[in-house]
Amino acid sequence: MDTLLYFIHNYGLWFVFIAVLLDQGGIPIPAYPPLILASALTVESGGSLWPLVLVAVLAALCADLLWYAGGRHFGGRLIRLMCRLSLSPDSCVATTRGIYSRWGAPALVVAKFVPGFAAIATTLAGQLRTRVVRFAFYDGIGALLWATVAVALGAVFHEAVNGVLAQLETLGRLGLLLVLGSISLWVAWKVWDRQRFMRLIRMARISVPELQQLLAAGNGPLLLDVRPAGLREASGWIPGAVRVSRVDELKLAPQAEVVIYCDCPNEASAALLARELKQRGFARVRPLAGGFAAWQVQGLPIEHAAPE
Protein backbone atom coordinates (compact mmCIF):
# COMPACT_ATOMS: atom_id res chain seq x y z
CA MET A 1 0.00 0.00 0.00
CA ASP A 2 2.88 2.36 0.83
CA THR A 3 4.37 1.66 -2.62
CA LEU A 4 1.09 2.53 -4.33
CA LEU A 5 0.80 5.81 -2.41
CA TYR A 6 4.43 6.63 -3.17
CA PHE A 7 3.88 6.25 -6.91
CA ILE A 8 0.69 8.32 -6.86
CA HIS A 9 2.31 11.09 -4.81
CA ASN A 10 5.47 11.30 -6.91
CA TYR A 11 4.36 10.18 -10.38
CA GLY A 12 0.65 10.93 -10.22
CA LEU A 13 -0.05 11.81 -13.85
CA TRP A 14 2.23 9.13 -15.27
CA PHE A 15 0.71 6.60 -12.88
CA VAL A 16 -2.79 7.50 -14.05
CA PHE A 17 -1.77 7.45 -17.73
CA ILE A 18 -0.21 3.97 -17.49
CA ALA A 19 -3.09 2.56 -15.40
CA VAL A 20 -5.72 3.78 -17.89
CA LEU A 21 -3.65 2.70 -20.91
CA LEU A 22 -3.28 -0.84 -19.52
CA ASP A 23 -6.93 -1.07 -18.50
CA GLN A 24 -8.30 0.19 -21.82
CA GLY A 25 -5.67 -1.82 -23.67
CA GLY A 26 -7.17 -5.05 -22.38
CA ILE A 27 -4.93 -5.84 -19.39
CA PRO A 28 -7.19 -6.80 -16.45
CA ILE A 29 -5.89 -4.04 -14.18
CA PRO A 30 -8.84 -1.76 -13.25
CA ALA A 31 -8.10 1.94 -13.82
CA TYR A 32 -10.91 3.38 -11.69
CA PRO A 33 -9.28 2.72 -8.26
CA PRO A 34 -6.01 4.53 -9.20
CA LEU A 35 -8.03 7.40 -10.71
CA ILE A 36 -10.20 7.73 -7.60
CA LEU A 37 -7.15 7.50 -5.32
CA ALA A 38 -5.23 10.09 -7.33
CA SER A 39 -8.23 12.41 -7.28
CA ALA A 40 -8.73 12.05 -3.51
CA LEU A 41 -5.04 12.70 -2.79
CA THR A 42 -5.03 15.68 -5.15
CA VAL A 43 -7.97 17.24 -3.32
CA GLU A 44 -6.23 16.66 0.02
CA SER A 45 -3.09 18.41 -1.23
CA GLY A 46 -5.07 21.29 -2.79
CA GLY A 47 -4.03 20.50 -6.35
CA SER A 48 -5.99 20.88 -9.60
CA LEU A 49 -8.09 17.99 -10.90
CA TRP A 50 -8.32 18.83 -14.60
CA PRO A 51 -4.84 17.40 -15.47
CA LEU A 52 -6.02 14.02 -14.16
CA VAL A 53 -9.05 14.11 -16.45
CA LEU A 54 -6.97 15.22 -19.44
CA VAL A 55 -4.33 12.51 -18.95
CA ALA A 56 -6.97 9.79 -18.47
CA VAL A 57 -8.80 10.84 -21.65
CA LEU A 58 -5.54 10.89 -23.63
CA ALA A 59 -4.56 7.41 -22.42
CA ALA A 60 -8.02 6.00 -23.19
CA LEU A 61 -7.97 7.47 -26.71
CA CYS A 62 -4.51 6.01 -27.38
CA ALA A 63 -5.65 2.52 -26.36
CA ASP A 64 -8.95 2.80 -28.24
CA LEU A 65 -7.27 3.93 -31.46
CA LEU A 66 -5.05 0.84 -31.28
CA TRP A 67 -8.15 -1.37 -30.96
CA TYR A 68 -9.76 0.56 -33.84
CA ALA A 69 -6.70 0.02 -36.06
CA GLY A 70 -6.62 -3.67 -35.12
CA GLY A 71 -10.30 -4.06 -36.03
CA ARG A 72 -9.75 -2.29 -39.33
CA HIS A 73 -6.85 -4.54 -40.34
CA PHE A 74 -7.69 -7.88 -38.69
CA GLY A 75 -11.46 -7.69 -38.10
CA GLY A 76 -13.12 -10.83 -36.79
CA ARG A 77 -9.81 -12.62 -36.16
CA LEU A 78 -8.86 -10.05 -33.53
CA ILE A 79 -12.28 -10.23 -31.87
CA ARG A 80 -12.09 -14.03 -31.68
CA LEU A 81 -8.62 -13.78 -30.14
CA MET A 82 -9.86 -11.21 -27.61
CA CYS A 83 -12.67 -13.49 -26.51
CA ARG A 84 -10.35 -16.48 -26.11
CA LEU A 85 -8.12 -14.45 -23.78
CA SER A 86 -11.02 -12.78 -21.97
CA LEU A 87 -12.62 -14.05 -18.77
CA SER A 88 -16.00 -12.81 -19.96
CA PRO A 89 -18.46 -15.17 -21.69
CA ASP A 90 -18.42 -15.15 -25.50
CA SER A 91 -21.95 -13.74 -25.39
CA CYS A 92 -20.34 -10.36 -24.70
CA VAL A 93 -19.38 -10.23 -28.39
CA ALA A 94 -22.93 -10.99 -29.53
CA THR A 95 -24.36 -8.36 -27.18
CA THR A 96 -21.84 -5.74 -28.27
CA ARG A 97 -22.44 -6.49 -31.95
CA GLY A 98 -26.16 -6.03 -31.47
CA ILE A 99 -25.80 -2.72 -29.62
CA TYR A 100 -23.25 -1.31 -32.06
CA SER A 101 -25.25 -2.47 -35.06
CA ARG A 102 -28.30 -0.63 -33.72
CA TRP A 103 -26.71 2.60 -32.46
CA GLY A 104 -23.44 2.83 -34.39
CA ALA A 105 -20.64 5.16 -33.24
CA PRO A 106 -22.80 7.00 -30.63
CA ALA A 107 -22.77 3.77 -28.60
CA LEU A 108 -19.12 4.56 -27.81
CA VAL A 109 -20.28 7.39 -25.52
CA VAL A 110 -21.42 4.83 -22.90
CA ALA A 111 -19.14 1.93 -23.88
CA LYS A 112 -16.67 2.42 -21.03
CA PHE A 113 -19.41 2.18 -18.43
CA VAL A 114 -20.42 -1.34 -19.58
CA PRO A 115 -18.06 -4.17 -18.51
CA GLY A 116 -16.59 -5.99 -21.51
CA PHE A 117 -18.09 -3.56 -24.01
CA ALA A 118 -15.39 -0.95 -24.62
CA ALA A 119 -12.58 -2.94 -26.27
CA ILE A 120 -14.95 -4.99 -28.44
CA ALA A 121 -16.96 -1.92 -29.48
CA THR A 122 -13.83 -0.01 -30.54
CA THR A 123 -12.61 -3.05 -32.49
CA LEU A 124 -16.02 -3.40 -34.16
CA ALA A 125 -15.85 0.28 -35.15
CA GLY A 126 -12.69 -0.47 -37.09
CA GLN A 127 -14.06 -3.70 -38.57
CA LEU A 128 -17.21 -1.95 -39.78
CA ARG A 129 -15.15 0.89 -41.29
CA THR A 130 -16.51 3.68 -39.09
CA ARG A 131 -14.77 6.89 -40.18
CA VAL A 132 -11.86 7.63 -37.87
CA VAL A 133 -12.98 11.24 -37.24
CA ARG A 134 -16.47 10.07 -36.27
CA PHE A 135 -14.97 7.33 -34.11
CA ALA A 136 -12.60 9.72 -32.30
CA PHE A 137 -15.39 12.24 -31.69
CA TYR A 138 -17.79 9.84 -29.96
CA ASP A 139 -15.05 7.83 -28.28
CA GLY A 140 -13.53 11.06 -26.95
CA ILE A 141 -16.86 12.09 -25.44
CA GLY A 142 -17.17 8.67 -23.82
CA ALA A 143 -13.62 8.83 -22.44
CA LEU A 144 -14.25 12.33 -21.06
CA LEU A 145 -17.43 11.24 -19.26
CA TRP A 146 -15.78 8.09 -17.94
CA ALA A 147 -12.72 9.93 -16.59
CA THR A 148 -14.78 12.79 -15.16
CA VAL A 149 -16.99 10.41 -13.17
CA ALA A 150 -13.93 8.69 -11.64
CA VAL A 151 -12.22 11.96 -10.73
CA ALA A 152 -15.49 13.37 -9.36
CA LEU A 153 -15.97 10.28 -7.16
CA GLY A 154 -12.49 10.72 -5.73
CA ALA A 155 -13.07 14.43 -5.12
CA VAL A 156 -16.50 14.06 -3.50
CA PHE A 157 -15.56 11.11 -1.31
CA HIS A 158 -11.94 12.05 -0.65
CA GLU A 159 -12.39 11.86 3.12
CA ALA A 160 -13.84 8.35 2.91
CA VAL A 161 -11.12 7.23 0.46
CA ASN A 162 -8.35 8.54 2.69
CA GLY A 163 -10.04 6.88 5.67
CA VAL A 164 -9.99 3.51 3.90
CA LEU A 165 -6.33 4.01 2.95
CA ALA A 166 -5.47 4.82 6.56
CA GLN A 167 -7.31 1.72 7.76
CA LEU A 168 -5.54 -0.53 5.24
CA GLU A 169 -2.22 1.01 6.22
CA THR A 170 -3.00 0.23 9.89
CA LEU A 171 -3.81 -3.38 9.03
CA GLY A 172 -0.50 -3.72 7.22
CA ARG A 173 -0.07 -7.15 5.63
CA LEU A 174 -3.60 -8.15 6.57
CA GLY A 175 -4.95 -5.22 4.56
CA LEU A 176 -2.87 -6.30 1.56
CA LEU A 177 -4.19 -9.86 1.93
CA LEU A 178 -7.77 -8.55 2.00
CA VAL A 179 -7.20 -6.64 -1.26
CA LEU A 180 -5.52 -9.62 -2.95
CA GLY A 181 -8.25 -11.94 -1.68
CA SER A 182 -10.98 -9.74 -3.15
CA ILE A 183 -9.21 -9.69 -6.53
CA SER A 184 -8.79 -13.49 -6.44
CA LEU A 185 -12.48 -14.01 -5.70
CA TRP A 186 -13.44 -11.75 -8.60
CA VAL A 187 -11.17 -13.64 -11.03
CA ALA A 188 -12.49 -17.00 -9.77
CA TRP A 189 -16.09 -15.88 -10.30
CA LYS A 190 -15.31 -14.71 -13.87
CA VAL A 191 -13.64 -18.06 -14.66
CA TRP A 192 -16.66 -19.96 -13.29
CA ASP A 193 -19.05 -17.75 -15.27
CA ARG A 194 -17.15 -18.39 -18.51
CA GLN A 195 -17.07 -22.17 -17.92
CA ARG A 196 -20.81 -22.15 -17.17
CA PHE A 197 -21.47 -20.36 -20.47
CA MET A 198 -19.28 -22.79 -22.44
CA ARG A 199 -21.29 -25.71 -21.02
CA LEU A 200 -24.49 -23.91 -21.98
CA ILE A 201 -23.57 -23.68 -25.68
CA ARG A 202 -22.04 -27.15 -25.95
CA MET A 203 -23.79 -29.04 -28.77
CA ALA A 204 -23.07 -30.79 -32.06
CA ARG A 205 -21.83 -28.59 -34.93
CA ILE A 206 -21.96 -29.08 -38.68
CA SER A 207 -18.72 -28.57 -40.59
CA VAL A 208 -18.36 -26.46 -43.72
CA PRO A 209 -17.71 -29.51 -45.99
CA GLU A 210 -20.81 -31.25 -44.59
CA LEU A 211 -22.97 -28.20 -45.22
CA GLN A 212 -21.53 -27.74 -48.71
CA GLN A 213 -22.34 -31.38 -49.51
CA LEU A 214 -25.95 -30.98 -48.35
CA LEU A 215 -26.41 -27.81 -50.40
CA ALA A 216 -24.86 -29.40 -53.50
CA ALA A 217 -27.23 -32.37 -53.20
CA GLY A 218 -30.20 -30.00 -53.41
CA ASN A 219 -31.71 -30.98 -50.05
CA GLY A 220 -29.90 -28.44 -47.94
CA PRO A 221 -31.23 -27.22 -44.61
CA LEU A 222 -32.65 -23.79 -43.91
CA LEU A 223 -29.72 -21.42 -43.33
CA LEU A 224 -30.08 -18.71 -40.69
CA ASP A 225 -27.64 -15.79 -40.46
CA VAL A 226 -27.64 -14.19 -37.00
CA ARG A 227 -24.98 -11.54 -37.68
CA PRO A 228 -25.83 -7.82 -37.45
CA ALA A 229 -27.31 -6.32 -40.61
CA GLY A 230 -24.34 -3.96 -41.14
CA LEU A 231 -21.80 -6.77 -40.99
CA ARG A 232 -23.91 -8.98 -43.26
CA GLU A 233 -24.21 -6.26 -45.89
CA ALA A 234 -20.49 -5.47 -45.73
CA SER A 235 -19.20 -9.04 -46.02
CA GLY A 236 -22.04 -10.82 -47.85
CA TRP A 237 -23.69 -14.09 -46.79
CA ILE A 238 -23.87 -17.78 -47.61
CA PRO A 239 -26.21 -18.22 -50.61
CA GLY A 240 -29.80 -18.70 -49.51
CA ALA A 241 -29.22 -17.68 -45.89
CA VAL A 242 -31.96 -15.72 -44.14
CA ARG A 243 -31.02 -13.11 -41.57
CA VAL A 244 -32.77 -13.37 -38.19
CA SER A 245 -32.11 -12.00 -34.74
CA ARG A 246 -34.89 -13.60 -32.68
CA VAL A 247 -36.73 -16.91 -32.67
CA ASP A 248 -40.04 -15.03 -32.83
CA GLU A 249 -39.19 -13.95 -36.38
CA LEU A 250 -39.27 -17.56 -37.62
CA LYS A 251 -42.37 -19.21 -39.05
CA LEU A 252 -41.12 -22.78 -39.21
CA ALA A 253 -42.38 -26.23 -38.40
CA PRO A 254 -40.32 -27.93 -35.67
CA GLN A 255 -39.31 -30.77 -38.01
CA ALA A 256 -37.38 -28.49 -40.38
CA GLU A 257 -33.59 -28.97 -40.51
CA VAL A 258 -31.84 -25.74 -39.61
CA VAL A 259 -28.20 -24.60 -39.72
CA ILE A 260 -27.32 -21.34 -37.98
CA TYR A 261 -24.13 -19.35 -38.39
CA CYS A 262 -22.61 -16.20 -36.98
CA ASP A 263 -19.17 -14.59 -36.91
CA CYS A 264 -18.31 -14.74 -33.23
CA PRO A 265 -16.03 -16.84 -30.97
CA ASN A 266 -17.18 -20.43 -30.39
CA GLU A 267 -20.29 -19.73 -32.51
CA ALA A 268 -21.84 -18.25 -29.36
CA SER A 269 -24.70 -16.34 -31.02
CA ALA A 270 -25.58 -19.26 -33.31
CA ALA A 271 -25.43 -21.77 -30.43
CA LEU A 272 -27.70 -19.66 -28.23
CA LEU A 273 -30.33 -19.40 -30.98
CA ALA A 274 -29.97 -23.13 -31.73
CA ARG A 275 -30.50 -23.94 -28.07
CA GLU A 276 -33.67 -21.85 -28.02
CA LEU A 277 -34.98 -23.58 -31.15
CA LYS A 278 -34.33 -27.00 -29.59
CA GLN A 279 -36.33 -25.94 -26.56
CA ARG A 280 -39.20 -25.18 -28.93
CA GLY A 281 -39.18 -28.65 -30.45
CA PHE A 282 -36.62 -28.39 -33.26
CA ALA A 283 -34.61 -31.63 -33.21
CA ARG A 284 -32.45 -31.01 -36.30
CA VAL A 285 -30.70 -27.73 -35.63
CA ARG A 286 -26.92 -27.17 -35.53
CA PRO A 287 -24.53 -24.21 -35.53
CA LEU A 288 -21.98 -24.00 -38.35
CA ALA A 289 -18.51 -24.77 -36.95
CA GLY A 290 -16.29 -21.73 -37.49
CA GLY A 291 -19.22 -19.61 -38.62
CA PHE A 292 -19.16 -17.40 -41.69
CA ALA A 293 -15.37 -16.99 -41.48
CA ALA A 294 -14.87 -20.75 -41.97
CA TRP A 295 -17.08 -20.68 -45.08
CA GLN A 296 -15.32 -17.59 -46.44
CA VAL A 297 -11.77 -18.84 -45.87
CA GLN A 298 -12.43 -21.89 -48.08
CA GLY A 299 -13.33 -19.63 -51.01
CA LEU A 300 -16.92 -20.86 -51.25
CA PRO A 301 -19.67 -18.79 -52.96
CA ILE A 302 -20.90 -15.67 -51.18
CA GLU A 303 -23.91 -13.57 -52.09
CA HIS A 304 -23.94 -9.78 -51.93
CA ALA A 305 -26.69 -7.21 -52.15
CA ALA A 306 -27.39 -6.02 -55.68
CA PRO A 307 -26.14 -2.45 -56.31
CA GLU A 308 -28.85 0.19 -56.27
pLDDT at 59: 94
Q: Which parts of the chain register pLDDT below 50? A: 1, 87, 89-91, 308
From residue 10, alpha-carbon distances to 6, 15, 23, 163 in Å are 6, 9, 21, 20
Domains and CATH numbers, the chain: 2-198 (no CATH), 208-297 (3.40.250.10)
pLDDT at 146: 92
106-142 pLDDT, tens digit per residue, is 888 888 887 667 777 888 888 778 899 999 999 999 9
pLDDT at 98: 63
pLDDT at 73: 82
pLDDT at 95: 60
212-248 pLDDT, tens digit per residue, is 888 888 777 889 998 877 778 878 899 989 888 777 7
Question: How far apart are alpha carbons 241 and 17 in whole angstroms?
Answer: 47
Q: Is there a contact between 305 and 131 (Cβ–Cβ < 8 Å)?
A: no
Q: Is there a contact between 284 and 258 (Cβ–Cβ < 8 Å)?
A: yes
Question: How far apart are alpha carbons 254 and 152 in whole angstroms?
Answer: 55
Sheet with 222-225: strands ordered across? 242-243, 222-225, 258-261, 285-287
